[in-house]
Structure 1
Amino acid sequence: MDIRFLVTFMEVAQTRHFGKAAENLYLTQSAVSARIKQLEEYFNAALFVRNRNSLQLTAAGEKLLPFASSLADTLEQARATMNEESIQYLSIASTSNAWDMYLKHKLDEVKGHLDHVSIRAEICSHEQLSRMVHEHSIDLALTTLPFKSDDVEILELSDSMLSLYCSVGIIEEALEHFNISIDWGQKTNEALEKIYPEIKKASMRTGSLQVALNYLSTHNSAIILPAQIAKELVNAGKLHEVDSLSPLTVKCYLIYLKQSKDARLKKFIEVFKGMIENQQGR
């Protein structure tokens, strides 16, 4: 049971309004409704009676309220103790491609700017990231596709040019071996298919860079990759660049909630902004 669900329950019980509770907690109303629904499923009981113009606690809701209050107090005490130890926590979740293209290489740099910060990093799907950000389950999300939401800020972290590469053994007939197709998002995919119709016949189609590279290691193939990912393989003599696809690029984005007033989170975001400025100044 996530303690934040109980905090949400108490806020709804106090305001008697889902919209006001969402505003006070810096959540979307749908996130508040989802948390209450999960609590009701967990306790197998309705917690509120929803009338047209009012919202009242049920008998089960009245019983739960003091327990929720006690648990919330315990959580605040735990947070106070952790603050006394000068330890801060940063939770980052990333799609697998954003990890490979950005965070894997930048995590040490991020950590270097954040003394006494414990970082929790996870790999999730794009859909999971969106849900976790809106439910405050994570501080920051990294992805190659921006969220379609008015509730978030989107910061562009990197921009890598796409190029066509092939295994060194098939340089002369690269387009005859278009065996791997990576999903870069609908708009980019459509542009690539216009340039190389052969890609539609790829025997391996995946949204994961890691899966594509693993397959490439045992199958001669033409493949479209970001330059920063292909660089190491080109330098090692395993891949050959056939054609630059400029201006087509793949971007990595940092995403976080607009409404957050957490000074700790603002500090973390400034670190990423500073890294972008340093990169642009090189």
Structure 2
Amino acid sequence: MDIRFLVTFMEVAQTRHFGKAAENLYLTPSAVSARIKQLEEYFNSALFVRNRNSLQLTAAGEKLLPFATSLSETLEQARAAMNEESIQYLSIASTANAWDMYLKQNLDEVKGHLDDVSIRAEICSHEQLSRMIHEHIIDLALTTVPFKSDDVEILELSESMLSLYCSLELAEQPLGHLSISLDWGRKTNEAIEKIYPEIKKAGMRTGSLQVALNYLSTNKSAIILPEPIAQPLVNKSELVMLDSLAPLSVKCYLIYLKQTKNARIGQFIDVFTQMVKNKQGR
């Protein structure tokens, strides 16, 4: 049970209004409604009576309220105790490909700019990231496909050009072995298919770089990869570069809510922004 669901329940109980509770918690009304619904499913009891012009606690809701208040107060005490130790916490989630292409190489550098920060890092799907950001479950999201939302800010972190590679043994007839298709988003996929129609017949289709590379390690194939990911394999003579697909590229984005009042998130964003400026200035 997420304590934030109980906090949401307390806010609705106090305001007697989903919209006002959502505004006070910096959530959308649908997110508040979803949290209350999950609480009701968890306790197998209706917590509110929803009339046209009023919202009242049920008997079950009245019983839950003091427990929710007690748990919330305990959480605040725990948070205060942690603050006394000068430890700050930040949750960041990434799609698997954004992790491989950016965060894995840069997380240590980012963390090195901030003292006394404990980072919780998770790997999630693109759909999960969008929901978790909007419901304040995570502070920051990294993905290769930006969210379509007016509630978030989007910072472009990196851009990697795509190129065609193949196993060394297939260099003479690579297109006949273009058997791995990676999902880079609809527009990029359509552009690739126009250049290499053979990829439509690929026997392996995946949205994960790691899955594609694992498959490639045991199956000789041609494959389209971001250049920074492919270069170590080229250096080890496991792959050979055949053709650049520039200007086709894959980008990594940092995404966060516009209405964030958390100072540590602002510091983190500033570090990412400065890293982008430093790389652009090289």
> What range describes the TM-score normalised by the shorter chain of this pair?
over 0.9
Deviates more, 1:232-241 or 1:98-107: 232-241
**Aligned counterpart, 2:3:** 3
Cα separation, 1, equivalents of 2:112 and 2:77: 29
Question: How far is 1:50 from its partner?
Answer: 0.8
**Aligned counterpart, 2:210:** 210
Q: For 1:25-36, what aligned pairs fall within 5 Å after superposition?
A: 25-36=25-36
Question: How far is 1:260 from its partner?
Answer: 1.3
Q: For 1:64-103, what aligned pairs fall within 5 Å after superposition?
A: 64-103=64-103
SS in 1 for 2:79: helix
Question: Which ranges of structure 1 fall in alignment gaps of 5 or more residues?
Answer: none
Cα separation, 2, equivalents of 1:272 and 1:23: 29
**Aligned counterpart, 1:177:** 177
Query: Pairwise CA RMSD of aligned residues?
Result: 0.9
Question: How far is 1:269 from its partner?
Answer: 1.1
SS in 2 for 1:173: coil
**One-letter identity of the residue aligned with 1:44:** N
Deviates more, 1:245-254 or 1:147-156: 147-156
Cα separation, 2, equivalents of 1:259 and 1:52: 31
Cα separation, 1, equivalents of 2:205 and 2:147: 23
SS in 2 for 1:217: helix
Question: How far is 1:278 from its partner?
Answer: 1.2
Q: For 1:56-135, what aligned pairs fall within 5 Å after superposition?
A: 56-135=56-135
**One-letter identity of the residue aligned with 2:227:** A
SS in 1 for 2:172: helix
Question: How far is 1:112 from its partner?
Answer: 0.5
**Aligned counterpart, 1:281:** 281
Question: How far is 1:140 from its partner?
Answer: 0.7
**Aligned counterpart, 1:261:** 261
Runs of at least 4 residues of structure 1 off by over 3 A?
none
Give deviations 1:156-177, integer Å, cap 9, x for gaps. Answer: 1111000111111111111111
Question: Which ranges of structure 2 fall in alignment gaps of 5 or more residues?
Answer: none
**One-letter identity of the residue aligned with 1:230:** A
**Aligned counterpart, 1:51:** 51
Question: How far is 1:16 from its partner?
Answer: 1.1
**One-letter identity of the residue aligned with 2:41:** E
Deviates more, 1:174-183 or 1:52-61: 52-61
Cα separation, 1, equivalents of 2:206 and 2:222: 14
SS in 2 for 1:76: helix
Q: For 1:195-206, what aligned pairs fall within 5 Å after superposition?
A: 195-206=195-206
TM-score (norm 2): 0.98
**Aligned counterpart, 1:136:** 136
SS in 2 for 1:172: coil
Number of equivalenced pairs: 282
Question: How far is 1:95 from its partner?
Answer: 0.7
**Aligned counterpart, 2:270:** 270
Residue 148 (structure 2) pairs with residue 155 (structure 1): no
Cα separation, 2, equivalents of 1:102 and 1:183: 17
Cα separation, 2, equivalents of 1:218 and 1:75: 50
Cα separation, 2, equivalents of 1:231 and 1:264: 35
Cα separation, 1, equivalents of 2:219 and 2:204: 10
**Aligned counterpart, 2:236:** 236
SS in 1 for 2:218: coil
Question: How far is 1:226 from its partner?
Answer: 0.4
